[in-house]
Amino acid sequence: MKELFKSLLFRTSESTVVRECRRCGTEVSASDTCCPQCEADTISEYKIK
């Protein structure tokens, strides 16, 4: 979540991709296939320009 706020406050011309668990909202890294917090496999990906 901190990275999301940083990307919104200090925007660059590059887009940012945020991945989070749909069940618990934990931010998930690109290499994870399931949530490290609740082990759900429903990961959402948002591209922020």
pTM score over 0.75: no
Distance CA 4, CA 20 (A): 11
Phi and psi at residue 28, in whole multiples of 5°?
A: -120, 140
Distance CA 48, CA 11 (A): 10
What are the helix (H) ranges across 10-44? none
Q: Which domain holds residue 16?
A: 2-48
| Contact by Cβ (8 Å): 46, 7 | no
Q: What is the pLDDT of residues 1-49, one digit of tens each?
A: 677 777 667 766 677 899 999 999 999 999 999 999 999 999 999 998 7
What domain count does the chain have?
A: 1
In sequence order, what are the residues at sequence separation of 6 or more whose Cβ sits closer than 8 angstroms to the Cβ of residue 10? Answer: none
